[in-house]
A and B are shown apart, each in its own frame.
Chain A
Amino acid sequence: MSKDPVNLDNIYANNVGTFAKIVNTVLPVTYPEKFFDEQFDAKNKSTFFGQLGYFGEVAVGGVRAELIANKNGGVKPAGVYIQVLAVLAAYRGRAIGSRLLSYIEEQSKEHFQHKIFAHVAVDNEEGLEWYKKHGFEIEGLPLKDYYKDTTGSPDAYVLVKQV
């Protein structure tokens, strides 16, 4: 194929189910419906960045991040926090994840943020490897019992990338 088969597009209220499907297939954590709906809840004041990654016309990966401004001085440090980033196993190695990540990086710059955070389960070696390759570093000690509804390890590392 001469044309690049990989494309990105927004997540819409109508196809958020596809995004949910990818996330819940790839990650051992089960995310509730509420998590996916909050992006389209008019009452929710948070800023989300979400994209679906397509191979051909099939959605195979997705990312969602939240902008955390430091105004309120909450527990979380200011920056952009990647809530989920997932690509179906069979479609890895096609730079779909990188494209999704660079989308988040662009958004971070546009919103004047210099730090991107992510949580990765301590037993997710492939994930840790991937984040490190893309310029993330582990920060501090693993968080104990971070994930609730999961089949994998409940502990998570915090990863950070400066942009």
Chain B
Amino acid sequence: MSKRRVGNVARPNGLPIGRSKEDANLLEALKLYEAKNYKKSLKLVETSLKKNSQHTDSLALKALNLYCTDQKEEAETYVNRALAKGTVGGPSPIGLHILGIYMRNNKRYSEAAKFFQSSLDNGSKNKQIYRDLATLYAQEHDYKNLLRARQSYWEEFMGYRANWTSLAIAHDLNGQPQEASNVLSKLEELAKGKLGEAELYEHNECLMYKNDLLFRAAGDDKDKLQRVFKHLDEIEPEVFDKYAWLERRASLYMKLDEKMNASKVYRTLIKRNPDNFRYYRLLEIALGVQNDDQRRSILYSNLERFYPRAEPPKFIPLTFIKDEETYTQKLSEYLLPQIERGVPATFNNVKPLYRKDTERTSRLAGKIVLTFLANIDHKQSPLAFVWANYYMCQHFMFLKDFAKAKEYIDAALDHTPTMVELYILKARVLKHAGHLVDAAETVNEGRKLDLQDRFINTKTVKYYLRANLIEKAVEVVSIFTKNDGSVNGVMDLHLMEASWFVGEQAESYYRLYLAEKQKLNELKESDVSTDEEAQLERANQIRLLAYETSKFGGLALKRWTAIAKFFKQFEDDQLDFHSYCMRKGVPRAYLEMYHWGKSIFTLPMYVRATKGAAKLYFDLYDSHVKSVDDENEDGESSLAKKNSKKAKKDAAALKKRIDEDKKTTLTVEKDNDILGETLISTTTPLQDFYDNFYANFAKEATDTTRDFILEFEYQLRCGKLPLCVGALAKFADIHGTTNSTVGTMVLSVLEKIKFSTEIDELTKKLALKGLERQFSSLPLDQLENETFDWLEYFQQSFDAPTLEALLLLRRSVSQIVSSDAVKQLILENLGSQEPTVQDSVLKYQLN
């Protein structure tokens, strides 16, 4: 969606009198550039440069034109030439502005800001630059400079409302809500009585925003809060967003301790929207009944009479009723009408209750629905029969009784095989039972019922990818994508930034990578036959497997990297909004986006991609995998010559295959690393991981969004043991010092201290000190004792190990504790895991 801005450059001012021919040409060329006649503009600049190859401004404009005509590398060389000039004879203000635009196009925002700033400092009369400068500072979250730029621009162009709003927001971001509100007040005075119909919405948003500011500035000060209240009353007729207005009113009453009045407002809000759970909670607090179950019951039974069709008054009592009889009755009144009406989400609605008290809810709900099921006739009320079975299937799935779950969903499917929902649920059951291919085929069967259903289409794709059937997945997904210029929908899905698909595909490729790698290793370890023919065949097999391994690994990295790029794009896309939102007059929505934008690299999909990529990069680092080619070169060279005919044929077959693979996996046009070969053959996996994924995540992660295990594993491989201990300590703060993962981390650090030759003594000492501080009972004196059993210590001093902890142990420890012993523990642990987890660990993590 991002439409690349081209930038409105320079006006012909700021030039000395008696300008040179080059300067005149430059202005002409600039006009052409602005009209997007890049080629003509380029030509004109080149004629100038022919005469005077050192004319800096022309060099800069040439670079910009080259950039806009997609010759990015050449553009960079001209920029460097323009910059090399230094201050004397360097770029004029116009040149600086051009360079700034070039940098902004190049997404080097802080450099762009520098050039814009110095263009202004060097006497550019083009005050429009201030606005562009402000957007850059906003993008960079540089509030102080943002305020200065907004202020300067506002001083130049006071006639626009947007400039006042921007200035207010800049004050706000600098923690000056009072100043911000003053700016808005001044504007209100100026605008009084001059507002047209079209401006009313913008005006209303600014009024509400001002109230936000006043509210925040008031804190707990009663007098100030009273004034906020007064302001709120004044603006009432002009405010469109009645919910926000009422919510503010209620919170003001709460802050002023007028709870009765607050409760009245909350009742008004409930009346406006009886399905918002939050209003009910707040009403409870306003009435002071949140800890009094009896009064709560009365409250909700009254509310239920008022709003018989609303969900919350029926549901909320279920979260606090203790008496079993009443609970059963209420639960039954809640569940059965929904099942009779055929609400597919019935089980999901009560899932929180199952989570809260699994024993009680599952016992009672199971009984209610089973009794219901036993008492209805499947011909009299066929749909209720189906939905009751559907519910029971989910019920048993929650209890991890997959055989029972399957019975119920099969009963529903036998009865009515034309409902899509049933296939999806059956597929879920099969997936949990570890039958990934069957699951995919089942959901595909459901898909065929209605080919237009996009939801089931994407579900099918996801299930195929889980089953590593990538070709089928791509075939199905391509039904809904735009496929011009490509053999399938993969390219379109990248263009659409469909992370769900790209991420699942990455994980699928990663699993195939592991599987192929294992096959490759097995073949390499197998005995070499003396028969020449067989040897040749073996070499060919190895070559093929090596190719497949590196291809799948490369593609996995390629896809994960694509997700990282999507998120960078999300970040860049904000740039346009710093001016757009001001023009549209939506300060509240803008600020919401702005704060959201500060944490996009901690959103689940980005984290998932980061962790996925981490696994592969760590694997590359750990096994020091070199590029596939030089691994088997020695094996093949001597033999290949002897039997060159077959070798040639094999090589040709491989080449054909590579070309074919490239066609089906293409993501963007003109890609020179379609299969991710460059990515996978990196010699600096940790650095790549940091640059492409981890840096952004670490920059934005807060204590609540940090991932300590990831951090630990990364720093462990970087050899930064004290940082490992730091992550470990934070993790222990949250999960307790006897958590088994903590134990695993301790052992991992100890192993490095004891065995690593790359880490210097000082670092080791620091880490040891840190460990000592955290764990006073740690038997560090045994570190030199070769017979000390650290595994036994781990098992005795920490909680029963979780699967996660054991897998981490397996990944990071091999000497201090024997790998086989850890493997044994994992196998024992797997007994209690659900089949799909067992499968994936056995298949992919134990080799």
Shortest beta-carbon distance, A37 to chain B, in Å?
12
Q: How many angstroms between the C-alpha atoms of A22 and B419 in the bound complex? A: 11
Pairwise interchain contact A17-B451, C-beta atoms closer than 8 A? yes
- Tell yes or no: B417 within 8 A of A by CB: yes
Shortest beta-carbon distance, B782 to chain A, in Å?
67
Pairwise interchain contact B451-A14, C-beta atoms closer than 8 A? yes
Pairwise interchain contact B450-A55, C-beta atoms closer than 8 A? no
Pairwise interchain contact A21-B379, C-beta atoms closer than 8 A? no
Stretch in A42-50, A56-64, A111-119, A141-149 with 4+ CB within 8 Å of B:
A56-64
Q: Which residues in A have their C-beta under 8 angstroms from that of B378?
A: 90
Q: Mark B394-424, 1 if CB is under 8 A from A, else 0.
A: 0000000000000000000001111100000
- Tell yes or no: B288 within 8 A of A by CB: no
Q: How many angstroms between the C-alpha atoms of A18 and B448 in the bound complex? A: 7
Residue with the greatest number of chain A CB neighbours at <10 A, chosen from B415, B416, B418, B448: B418
Closest to A93 in B: B379
Q: Which residues in A have their C-beta under 8 angstroms from that of B635?
A: none
Q: Which residues in A have their C-beta under 8 angstroms from that of B417?
A: 21-22, 25, 88
- Tell yes or no: A130 within 8 A of B by CB: no
Shortest beta-carbon distance, A113 to chain B, in Å?
30
Pairwise interchain contact B449-A21, C-beta atoms closer than 8 A? yes
Q: How many angstroms between the C-alpha atoms of A127 and B449 in the bound complex? A: 25
Residue with the greatest number of chain B CB neighbours at <10 A, chosen from A20, A58, A59, A90: A90
* CB neighbors of B among A76-128 (8 A): 88, 90-93
Q: How many angstroms between the C-alpha atoms of A60 and B418 in the bound complex? A: 7
- Tell yes or no: A2 within 8 A of B by CB: no
* CB neighbors of A among B364-391 (8 A): 378-379, 382-383, 385
Q: How many angstroms between the C-alpha atoms of A92 and B382 in the bound complex? A: 11
Q: How many angstroms between the C-alpha atoms of A102 and B342 in the bound complex? A: 30
Pairwise interchain contact A15-B449, C-beta atoms closer than 8 A? yes
Q: How many angstroms between the C-alpha atoms of A59 and B449 in the bound complex? A: 10
Closest to B382 in A: A90
Pairwise interchain contact B418-A58, C-beta atoms closer than 8 A? yes
Q: Which residues in A have their C-beta under 8 angstroms from that of B418?
A: 18, 21-22, 58-60, 88
Closest to B342 in A: A56
Pairwise interchain contact A55-B452, C-beta atoms closer than 8 A? no
* CB neighbors of A among B418-458 (8 A): 418-419, 448-452
Q: How many angstroms between the C-alpha atoms of A58 and B383 in the bound complex? A: 9
- Knowing A58-B383, A90-B379, A93-B379, say if A14 contacts B416 (CB, 8 Å): no
Q: Which residues in A have their C-beta under 8 angstroms from that of B383?
A: 55-56, 58
Which one of A17, A88, A92, A93 lies within 8 Å of B416 (CB-CB)?
A: A88
**A interface: dominant SS:** mixed
Q: Which residues in B have their C-beta under 8 angstroms from that of A58?
A: 383, 416, 418-419
Shortest beta-carbon distance, B210 to chain A, in Å?
49
Q: Which residues in A have their C-beta under 8 angstroms from that of B415?
A: 88, 90
Q: How many angstroms between the C-alpha atoms of A91 and B418 in the bound complex? A: 12
* CB neighbors of A among B723-765 (8 A): none
Pairwise interchain contact B379-A17, C-beta atoms closer than 8 A? no
Pairwise interchain contact B450-A14, C-beta atoms closer than 8 A? yes
Which one of B382, B449, B451, B452 lies within 8 Å of A91 (CB-CB)?
A: B382
Q: How many angstroms between the C-alpha atoms of A102 and B57 in the bound complex? A: 83
Closest to A5 in B: B383
Q: How many angstroms between the C-alpha atoms of A90 and B113 in the bound complex? A: 72
- Knowing A58-B419, A88-B416, A90-B416, say if A18 contacts B449 (CB, 8 Å): yes
Pairwise interchain contact A14-B452, C-beta atoms closer than 8 A? yes
Pairwise interchain contact B450-A18, C-beta atoms closer than 8 A? yes
Pairwise interchain contact B450-A17, C-beta atoms closer than 8 A? yes
Q: Which residues in B have their C-beta under 8 angstroms from that of A90?
A: 378-379, 382, 385, 415-416
Q: Which residues in B have their C-beta under 8 angstroms from that of A13?
A: 451
Shortest beta-carbon distance, A16 to chain B, in Å?
9
* CB neighbors of B among A1-31 (8 A): 13-15, 17-18, 20-22, 25
Q: How many angstroms between the C-alpha atoms of A88 and B342 in the bound complex? A: 19
Q: How many angstroms between the C-alpha atoms of A15 and B448 in the bound complex? A: 8
Q: How many angstroms between the C-alpha atoms of A61 and B729 in the bound complex? A: 64
Q: How many angstroms between the C-alpha atoms of A55 and B415 in the bound complex? A: 13
Q: Which residues in B have their C-beta under 8 angstroms from that of A17?
A: 448-451
Q: How many angstroms between the C-alpha atoms of A22 and B449 in the bound complex? A: 10
Q: How many angstroms between the C-alpha atoms of A112 and B451 in the bound complex? A: 35
Closest to B413 in A: A25
Q: How many angstroms between the C-alpha atoms of A97 and B508 in the bound complex? A: 47
* CB neighbors of A among B447-489 (8 A): 448-452
Q: How many angstroms between the C-alpha atoms of A59 and B417 in the bound complex? A: 9
Q: Which residues in A have their C-beta under 8 angstroms from that of B342?
A: 56
12 CB-based A-B contacts, threshold 8 Å = A13-B451, A15-B452, A17-B451, A18-B449, A21-B448, A22-B417, A55-B383, A58-B416, A60-B416, A91-B379, A91-B382, A93-B379
- Among all A-B residue pairs, the 6 with the closest Cβ atoms: A17-B448, A14-B451, A14-B452, A18-B449, A59-B418, A17-B449
Using a CB–CB cutoff of 8 Å, the interface residues on chain A facing chain B are: 13-15, 17-18, 20-22, 25, 55-56, 58-60, 88, 90-93
New contact pairs (8) apart from A60-B416, A90-B382, A93-B379, CB-CB < 8 Å: A15-B451, A17-B449, A21-B418, A22-B417, A55-B382, A58-B419, A60-B418, A90-B379
